[in-house]
Amino acid sequence: MMPNVTGHTELVGLMAYPIRHTQSPTTHNLAYDKNGDDVIQLAFEVDNDSLKDAVQSIRALKMLGSNISMPNKTVVHKYLDEVDEAAKLCGAINTVVNMRDENGQVTGKLKGYNTDGMGYWQGLKEEGIDFKGMKMVLIGTGGAATAIAVRGALDGIAEIEIFNIKDKFYSRGEEIVDLINKNTNCKATMNDLADHDLLKEKMHAADLFCDATGVGMHPLEDLSNIPDTSFFKKDLIVTDTVYAPRETVMMKQAKEAGCEKVYNGMSMMLFQALIAIKLYTGKDTPVDYMKEKLG
């Protein structure tokens, strides 16, 4: 499809390195086209060294904003005017919006958001799941897990039991738990993933389970963090942030245990993009259309 680029076309960026493998412009440009917006997204190879100038170019070129990916998510806040509460707690930003004035013109005032966490929870809402007051078990303390935990805690999850292996991410988990307990009404606890008895006990007491680690995707596609099917109870809502493969070993275990609500990371990926698009243009994108086109 040839985009109809004119002198009026407005630009959304994507700043990351490496970035040439990204699917983001496909998703964004499909949505802008469907919504009738004269906007395109382009990917730019930007690392920490060129980030300050690249962010300044959002102002100089009157861009609508830019998506931000690694290695810039935890650094970009330094160059912005404002940061959304959840993004501040996560310590990571994936969307920079050039704020508009009352006439809809971009102002050069840049605000950072984290739509990864919003995307995960929006995906559950779209499945008709009301997660307020739920107890959650979350495996992982990296970027995806942090965004999910923080947004969930702000949006009404009652308890989060976080588990992680004792690697370099474990202390980050302790910090997140502390931040959540100090800043939200959610009660968060950090646990060692090696404690399988505790994991099983907490999974049996939970309403919602999420694996937000790289386990289940290449090169760990043959592995699961869950030792066997007895860890799952039938009414547990089971989610994985992995979207390639579409069904992880963990998801297969959950289905074998009789769980009926089992979801991969596709909806998180789609909704983090659609929420960013709404922040840039103010428009809702038809979800079914996007699902059909993106497969």
Among candidate residues 273, 219, 218, 269, the one with its CA nearest the CA of residue 239: 269
Distance CA 270, CA 24 (A): 9
Report in angstroms how near the CB of residue 62 gets to ligand NAD at its nearest: 29
106-113 vs 95-100, strand pairing mode = antiparallel
Confirm or reject binding of residue 129 to ligand NAD (CB under 6 A): no
Report in angstroms how near the CB of residue 269 gets to ligand NAD at its nearest: 3
Confirm or reject binding of residue 265 to ligand NAD (CB under 6 A): yes
The conformational region for residue 248 under phi > 0 = left, psi -120 to 50 = alpha, else beta, is beta
Among candidate residues 259, 257, 271, the one with its CA nearest the CA of residue 207: 259
Q: Among residues 98 and 272, whose Cβ is nearest to ligand NAD?
A: 272
Confirm or reject binding of residue 165 to ligand NAD (CB under 6 A): yes
Contact, 121 vs 151, CB < 8 A? yes
Which residue in 150, 212, 277, 290 binds ligand NAD (CB under 6 A)?
A: 212
Which residue in 33, 169, 183, 196 binds ligand NAD (CB under 6 A)?
A: 169
Give the tokens for residue 187. Answer: 């009660």
Task: Return the bridge partners of 9, or none.
Answer: none
Which residue in 27, 224, 241, 285 binds ligand NAD (CB under 6 A)?
A: 241
Confirm or reject binding of residue 141 to ligand NAD (CB under 6 A): yes
Residue type, 60: A
Confirm or reject binding of residue 213 to ligand NAD (CB under 6 A): yes
Q: Check if 168 is active-site.
A: no
Distance CA 160, CA 186 (A): 7
Binding site for ligand NAD (CB under 6 A): 116, 140-145, 164-165, 167, 169, 212-215, 217, 220, 225, 241-243, 265, 268-269, 272
User: Which residues are identified as catalytic?
Assistant: 73
